[in-house]
Structure 1
């Protein structure tokens, strides 16, 4: 049976990146030598951009809000987002900054170190948002609140919640107690916090992931859904802070795993789409894990062909 998508109008605010994936890197050639590789491709990425792309594939009406450069990389990023039907009018172009970009060499064993340029993401402020940026939204997803800082991020999220908009946050930087302090003002206005396991442990100093998630709920988040790679996700909510629920990852067949770049953003998108369908955080996390399994089969968040029906078929 074909799913009837629930109305979802979401703004993906913050970090938008152009990723360049290079597959088959065994080493960096010496001197000025060259090396043949299997594949080089570009994709839209970032805690806002990657989530925006996947949300659009899952049937949401998506706006991208953030900052990019006036360079060719920015042209390419806009084209990749527009190809998915995303409204990019809210991506301001800053001539004095380059578009944020990453180069990700993927080794044969799946390791994926990266070179990254922060670029225009570091210059984005709330002043770049149009007066009507929040009009008509059901959801606001803030990717990279650390670039705005806690007070500004908190202000944006509070404005959204005052309009009845569901808020969510995904953090880009590695876990560190000082970073948590930097964004602490945003947490009381965050309905759903979507970190990874390394971030939770680093933010809280807790070795036990459940205890770390509970600490973040105690800091103000309404629910914390933690990604933990091949183990899936872990969910704690303010409504039941003593209940820690593990949600397993969707198993892939032999040879199906290609690249995990973008899987965290895909989880965020699937989780948020689940919420829009009326699912609770645990059921939404199952949808997030299912969405990530499709992205893991290819390079980047735009890998493969999938839609909401395909993802729902894995979770029921």
Structure 2
């Protein structure tokens, strides 16, 4: 049995990124770019790396293929100090991977292989390894067909019954099945982390306040909506909204900013900080990751994060509504 502050369950992906990409050359043409990177990614794996860099004891739970990408991902996470005893390997499926051509403004289309993430199930959750765990994080709802819906609800309910704080991050696909994957889980979630665009889409509205109410009415204890350069908004049942502006940074790549935000916010929960302090940590982590290429850029350790928070100005503009 190992001692963990956080168990992070869900998507484990290898990202291959290149920047800046302004076009895909036709045929077998070539374009020179400035930088290519290969990184640990995914709403469970990248969040685990961020947590480990912030000094949090974390165990990552996910499914890999029996291939070179899976071996890379496991070794990289071990090198970062993430517990990997519950990363399972599966024959006949590849490790999940994404190719990301990063545009000059930091945005990125994605070419994605679902792979082994599709075989992750509730039976993979290491209940015997969670005696000291404070937070159970589920990352990747809507892209975990073996876990989405009622299986995720059972996992989260059991975690809360065992006294854990539960957090959830999601990646909607735009299909009607997204709500089937998400809604059963929300009554058992203390904090859910949708992006602004995803919150609007799932709620079927163009109003941020209505989107927040959608998650709260569906049962979530608290919804934390990330809004990119416009900061973040936290809303909870029976309480008002808390909004904080983003840090003012030059954006290189937005890949993994949401995962880093979750890592910062969860770090605050582990430390027993206020929700406002957790929100600040999340914003700082997400902003730092935006300054480099890939999910592991910028964020190095807690001391550097503190220096960044003390020295970096904030953006004045916040999204209204």
TM over 0.5: yes
The one of 271, 279, 283 equivalent to 1:277 is: 271
Q: In structure 2, what is the Cα distance between the partners aligned to 1:33 and 1:176? A: 34
Aligned residues of 1:231 and 1:248 also touching (Cα < 8 A): yes
The one of 221, 243, 251 equivalent to 1:246 is: 243
| TM score, norm. by length of structure 2 | 0.90
Q: Kindly report which structure 2 residues correspond to 1:167-178, keeping only aligned pairs within 5 A, or say none.
A: 167-174=166-173, 178=177
Determine helix, strand or coil for the equivalent of 1:132: helix
1:145 equivalent in alignment to 2:141: yes
| Aligned equivalent of 1:87 | 83
| Aligned equivalent of 2:227 | 228
Determine helix, strand or coil for the equivalent of 2:24: coil
1:16 equivalent in alignment to 2:18: no
| Aligned equivalent of 2:193 | 194
Q: In structure 1, what is the Cα distance between the partners aligned to 2:99 and 2:69? A: 12
Q: In structure 1, what is the Cα distance between the partners aligned to 2:107 and 2:197? A: 16
| Aligned equivalent of 1:100 | 96
Give the C-alpha shift of residue 307 in structure 1.
Answer: 1.6
Residue correspondences, number:
305
Q: In structure 1, what is the Cα distance between the partners aligned to 2:118 and 2:20? A: 31
Determine helix, strand or coil for the equivalent of 2:185: helix
The farther-off stretch of 19-28 and 127-136 is 127-136
Determine helix, strand or coil for the equivalent of 1:32: coil
Q: In structure 1, what is the Cα distance between the partners aligned to 2:173 and 2:227? A: 14
Summarize deviations over 1:264-301 as a string: whole Å, max 9, x none: 10111111111222223233111100111111111122
1:288 equivalent in alignment to 2:287: no
Unaligned stretches of 5+ residues in structure 2: 311-321
| Aligned equivalent of 2:22 | 26
Q: In structure 2, what is the Cα distance between the partners aligned to 1:71 and 1:294? A: 31
| TM score, norm. by length of structure 1 | 0.91
Aligned residues of 2:141 and 2:172 also touching (Cα < 8 A): no
Determine helix, strand or coil for the equivalent of 2:305: helix
Summarize deviations over 1:64-98 as a string: whole Å, max 9, x none: 10101011110111122111100111110011110
